[in-house]
Structure 1
Amino acid sequence: MFGKNVGSVDKILRIVIGALLIFGALMGYGMWMWIGVIPLATGLMGSCLIYSIFGISTCPRK
């Protein structure tokens, strides 16, 4: 669908932050914490729609 535009460090941060937010939601800290699904999914896929729209990429140049 979209090309890879999420680099290694960005990917790790997205996965960790997303997982922490989801864990917080599961622990009952607030329904808003389910927003963690978005960074987790984009980190796992390696592609971000917002980055694509604005032409941003944190991947190293080839």
Structure 2
Amino acid sequence: MAQNVGKIDRVIRIIVGLAVLSLVFVDPRTMWGLLGLIPLGTGLIGWCPPYALIGINTCGTK
């Protein structure tokens, strides 16, 4: 499983994931905040399944 998410994309995903995940712990305390695990996980792993299906790669060339 090769990485297909670049550095800037990963940082944005981690920040957004943590922000959405915080909805579980602060008001409005909703379980919908668990959806923040998706961008957080893809940001930490560096691989996004929808990107792989569509053929998008934000890593650039190595």
For normalisation by structure 1, the TM-score amounts to 0.88
Q: Which runs of 5+ in 2 are unaligned?
A: none
Q: Distance in 2 between matches of 1:48 and 1:28?
A: 29
RMSD: 1.1
* 2:17 corresponds to 1:10: no
Runs of 4+ in 1 over 3 A off after TM superposition: none
Aligned residue pairs, count: 61
Q: Which runs of 5+ in 1 are unaligned?
A: none
Q: Deviations over 1:2-61 (max 9, x none)?
A: 210000110000000001111122224221121000000000000001101111111112
Provide the identity percentage. Answer: 39
